[in-house]
Structure 1
Amino acid sequence: MRAFFLLIAALVSLAATPAMAWGAYGHRTVASIAMKNVTPRTRAEIRRILHAAPELLTPDCPVKSLEDASVWPDCVRGEGWRWAYTFPWHYQNISVCKPFDIKAKCAYGICVTGQVERFARLLADRRLPAEQQLEALMFLTHFVGDLHQPLHVGENEDLGGNRVKADYGIAPGLNLHWIWDGPEAERAISSANPPLVRRYSAEEKARLATGGVEDWAKESWQVSRDFLYPAAFGKLPCDGDEAEHVVWSEEAIQKAIPIVDERIERAGLRLAKMLDKALS
């Protein structure tokens, strides 16, 4: 019982922090999947680029691995005076109550889909100094993860569920976005069988590492529209009747697990494919 109340306290304290897609555990898992599945040459190039980390001058956000790189763009939010201009790059709020439009909420490429494409091009540019390639590597790794979190794309004028107070089963005091970033993702990843971090077969890669940035965004939007919002509200709340407080039930938790696992797998394998293209 004491452990249960400690868990609730931890969840409540985490809910008070800014939302980060998939949380650190999810982002690091995406990066680990990618590292397991890139070519040896790409892996060597990643390690070469990581040597430029001291040039970043972000000692509070050290980067020694691709896993560290995957959380760096959220870590530097602590220095808003320096990095605030990057904050809108993490998401693209496309309404689940309107037809999907990849151009929505992305003026001048200031959104997650625009930045994934931008940083992929920057990473592939061998003319850039190593520290600029490292920034491109870190943002690309992080934003591919963000793009696969459904509430970083599909939403209902509620900041991707951040304005929706929600209980995670019997644990109170969270919001819908944070549930998907944290406890739902952690439960799905930790219970996956086989483990998500592994070397995938050619057949698995052919099935999961498909499409381009617009396809990935539409997948996330569809998960929000077809599953996530109906599971939270009992229906797709498109008539201005979205409740301010919901319960993410045990039934929803269980149904979400395979969806989350596939989103993480796809993100990791698609990232690996992008890194191979840019660096090999």
Structure 2
Amino acid sequence: MRSGALRIANVTFALLLCPVAAWGWGDDGHKIVAVIAANNLTPAASSQVAEILGASAADKRAIAYAMEAASILPDTEFREEDKSTAPWHFIDICLQDHRADVAARCPEGKCVTGKIDEYSKRLKEIRYDHWGAKGDLAFLIHFVGDIHQPLHAANDADRGGNCVPVDSHSRETNLHATWDTTVVRRLEYSIDSGRPETTAHKLEQIYAAEKGADSWIAPDDIAWESNQVARTDIYGALQIPLEPCQPTANVCVNPAGHPIELDSSYLEHADTLAGHQLAKAGFRLASLLNEIWTQPAAPTHATGNSAPAEVPSATTVDSQIVFVGNRRSKIYAWPGCGSYDRMAPANRVVFQSRETAEQNGYRAARNCP
């Protein structure tokens, strides 16, 4: 048993280390999920998604790019616009909990399971909130990715691993960030060139035999499944001690009391596990969207406050592209540019047109088509 002084010091140290918000899978993980889902939509669901996101219904690649762009909006834009959305990205299921406890861990539906149910219903009923059709779909795509990240459904008084410092010879300083970003980037480079699109296609091939079994199930069941993965393959595998269950307490403890060593063997296992979770999320997201939309979009289908989304290349009309700038380099890019997918989330700023980007002092990347 730790002394009171050691526990206080441990909490203080962890608070200095842990970020305010958790970023499920990072941009690349969410894009991988979106691409896999786009590849597995029925024609009816595909046309509805294309209508909402402003992509061509006849161009599967354009729909995939549009879903990629939408998948990261809850982290890159919506969270800054409304900080009350931050708790929507996870559910704090204690490591001591039982399946029957899951529903109680989502008070007032303001967690990832509750919001998946809410936005599924909004899209099906064409009853959007102030984010509009595009925003509501973006949230749903993003949250299905989040709920498959094991540390978004587990809590050991450590904010889903945010308060556990790690020593893994990577730039990420805590366990949650390692799973969000480092593990996914390692997976991408082990599979192919490090691009979300190619990684998505490869994962789809690797886990093709599981597609039929990965149909949509209740969000609470998925959260419980992810929690079990966290228990065995993260907390158990790393021998992190169990802390008292206090999901509503404002604490940030490192249960281990010291930085966790993540050796190459553990990270290789984590890469494989993350790939499986991402593939499962993509297949399930497609299954959910296919359930929501069984009829194709009518030409006059209302999309609320939806706005145009990203499309594959700069040959498309500028107003249909979301341009992403790098705050540090003052360079902007669009889908198809080599630098587009490599911008760090913290450096991203989104513009709706070339003119807006250039008025703000940004120039176009030289590696853009």
* TM-score band w.r.t. shorter chain: 0.7 to 0.9
Structure 2 residue identity aligned to 1:133: A
User: What aligned pairs does 1:1-280 form with structure 2 within 5 A after superposition?
Assistant: 18-51=21-54, 65-76=66-77, 79=80, 82-100=81-99, 101-126=101-126, 128=128, 132-168=132-168, 170-171=169-170, 174-192=173-191, 195-197=202-204, 201=208, 203-209=209-215, 211-232=217-238, 234-238=239-243, 241-280=255-294
Task: Deviation per CA, 1:190-222: give whole Å up to 9, x if none.
Answer: 434971256975x53222335321221011100
**One-letter amino acid matched to 1:259:** L
Aligned partners of 2:27 and 2:160: how far apart in 1?
Answer: 18
d(CA) in 2 for partners of 1:145, 1:259? 14
Amino acid at match of 2:33: V
Secondary structure in 2 matching 1:155: coil
The answer on whether the counterparts of 2:128 and 2:136 sit within 8 Å (CA) in structure 1 is no
Contact 2:24 2:180 in 1 (8 A): yes
* Counterpart code for 2:203: L
TM-score by length of 1: 0.80
How many residue pairs get matched? 251
Is contact 2:207-2:276 (8 Å) kept?
no
- 1:205-259 superposed Cα distances (whole Å, 9 cap, x missing partner): 2223353212210111001111101223x25434795324211221110112221
Deviations 1:27-86 (A, max 9, x none): 00000000000012211211110139xxxxxxxxxx97110111000012563xx31121
Would the alpha carbon gap of residues 64 and 158 (structure 1) be closer, same or farther in structure 2, given more than 3 Å must change? same
Quote the Cα distance in structure 1 between the aligned partners of 2:217 and 2:184: 23
- Of stretches 88-97 and 25-34 in structure 1, the one that deviates more from structure 2 is 88-97
Letter in 1 for 2:70: A
Aligned with 1:93: secondary structure? Answer: coil
- C-alpha separation between the residues in 1 aligned to 2:161 and 2:70? 26
Distance 1:200 1:45, change over 3 A: farther
Q: Deviations along 1:144-187, whole A, 9 cap, x unmatched?
A: 0000000001120111111111122x336610000000011222
Gaps spanning 5+ residues in structure 2: where? 1-17, 56-63, 192-198, 245-252, 295-369
Instruction: Say if 1:173 and 1:143 are closer, same or farther in 2 by CA, change over 3 A.
Output: closer
Alpha-carbon RMSD across the aligned residues, in angstroms, is 2.8
| Alpha-carbon separation, structure 2, partners of 1:122 and 1:78 | 20
CA contact (8 A) 1:189 1:196 kept: no
Q: Which has the larger radius of gyration?
A: 2
Distance between the aligned counterparts of 1:198 and 1:173, measured in 2?
Answer: 29
When residues 207 and 238 of structure 1 are mapped into structure 2, their CA distance, relative to the original with a 3 A threshold, is: same
Could you say if the C-alpha distance between residues 172 and 106 of structure 1 is closer, same or farther in structure 2, counting changes exceeding 3 Å?
A: same
Structure 1 residues 98, 271: closer, same or farther in 2, change over 3 A?
same
Q: CA deviation at 1:261?
A: 1.0
CA positional deviation for 1:22:
0.4
Specify the alignment match of 2:354 in structure 1: none
Looking at secondary structure, tell me which structure has more helix per residue: 1
Q: Structure 1 stretches of 5 or more lacking a match?
A: 1-14, 53-62
SS at match of 1:209: coil
Conservation of the 8 A alpha-carbon contact between 1:116 and 1:140:
yes
Bigger drift between 119-128 and 141-150 goes to: 119-128
- 2-side partners of 1:277 and 1:253: how far apart? 36
Distance 1:197 1:139 in 2: 23
Q: Does the 8 Å CA contact 2:33/2:282 hold for their aligned counterparts?
A: yes
Residues 109-129 of structure 1 deviation map (CA, whole Å, 9 limit, x = unaligned): 010000001100111113559
Taking structure 1 as reference, are residues 17 and 92 closer, same or farther at Cα in structure 2, changes over 3 Å only?
closer
Q: Secondary structure at the match of 1:196?
A: helix
